[in-house]
Amino acid sequence: MAVNKGYKQTEIGIIPEDWEVKKVGGNWNFFKGKWYIQIGSK
């Protein structure tokens, strides 16, 4: 798949070149562009 100028291919998909992919620990979830913490999960 071709990647448009200004974007890059990462393990999570195509993102802007100036973004970074970082691992988030704990009970965090990403949903519809926002981060949420899971309360009471094990």
What pLDDT does 25 receive? Answer: 67
> How crowded is residue 1: how many other Cβ atoms within 10 Å of its Cβ?
5
Entry pTM: 0.51
Q: Where are the domains of the chain?
A: 7-37
Angle at 31 between CA 25 and CA 33, to 5 degrees: 100
What pLDDT does 22 receive? Answer: 75
What pLDDT does 34 receive? Answer: 73
What pLDDT does 33 receive? Answer: 76
What pLDDT does 1 receive? Answer: 72
Specify whether the CB–CB gap between 38 and 24 falls below 8 A: no
pLDDT tens for residues 1-40?
Answer: 799 999 999 888 899 999 888 776 666 677 777 766 666 6
